[in-house]
Amino acid sequence: MKLTLNDIQYLKEPILVISDLVNEATFKVDKDKIELIAMDPANVAMVVFRLLSTAFSEYNVNDKEELSLNLDSLKQILRRAKPEDILTLELIDNKFTFVMSSIAAEGLSEEWLNTIITEKEISMLTSIKGINAAGEGGEFESLVLDCPLFQKRIELVKVEKVMEKRNTGRLVIKEAKLTFK
């Protein structure tokens, strides 16, 4: 998936307003549009936002995709954007390797710590009540071990799982090394 928006105001202004109501949201992307439907935390207001594919100069979507984002983080990026800036959103398949480095939510246990997160794990996370699969509610933190920006990947050699409660714990990295890809 690759989307290029030449007029950033189509996204900037709505997100600045929506982010006052909703902290995190899932954008659904299909061949015709990018769409956000979200409820505010108090369950008082529902937000529906659609940006049609015709607003983009490049709109390549092969399959339906869902992007979970923290809107406050997106707002910070968009605030820095100048009117003449071009925004490109590109989903890079299977290029990131990350593990869960801390947990703090009912439904998560020690087994999740140091687990490499794949689509299977994300699917499992979405089935746990109260868990945001992106971890944006503070349910868990992650550590990126490899991504396209890294020249070397991080290899965890020795770790310790420290549990404070049954569903609260963290991964302590005792030894790690950088290895060439």
Domain boundary among 39, 56, 90: 90
Name the residue range of residue 83's domain.
2-90
pLDDT score of 95 = 78
Residues 68, 135 share a domain: no
Average pLDDT over residues 35-47: 89
Q: Does position 93 have pLDDT exceeding 70, yes or no?
A: no
Q: What is the CATH number of the domain that holds 50?
A: 3.10.150.10
Indicate whether 83 and 127 sit together in one domain.
no
Q: Over 70: is that where the pLDDT of 94 sits? A: no
Q: What is the pLDDT of residues 5-17, one digit of tens each?
A: 999 999 999 999 9
Q: What is the mean pLDDT of residues 106-110?
A: 91
Same domain, 48 and 33: yes
Look at the block and give the residue holding tokens 């605030």: 79
Tens digit of each residue's pLDDT (9 = 90 or more) over 147-166: 888 899 999 999 999 999 99
Q: What's the CATH number where 117 sits?
A: 3.90.1490.10
Residues 129 and 156 in one domain: yes
pLDDT for the residue numbered 54: 96
Report the pLDDT value the prediction gives residue 130, as an integer from 0 to 100.
77
Whether residue 170 sits in one domain with residue 102: yes
Q: Within this chain, do residues 61 and 120 fall inside the same structural domain, yes or no?
A: no
129 and 171 both lie in a single domain = yes
109-134 burial, b at 16+ Cβ within 10 Å, e below that, comes to eeebbbeebeeeeeebbeeeeebbbb
Q: Is the pTM of this model over 0.75?
A: no
Q: Which of 74, 90, 106 is the C-terminal boundary of a domain?
A: 90
79/102 same-domain check: no
CA 103 vs CA 27, 165, 168, 171, 176: distances in Å? 25, 10, 5, 9, 21
Q: Which of 90, 121, 140 is the last residue of a domain?
A: 90
**Terminal alpha carbon distance of the chain:** 25
Whether the predicted pLDDT of 137 surpasses 70: no
How many domains are contained in the chain? 2
Lowest mean pLDDT among 43-57, 62-76, 108-122, 130-144: 130-144
Do 176 and 102 lie in one domain? The reply is: yes
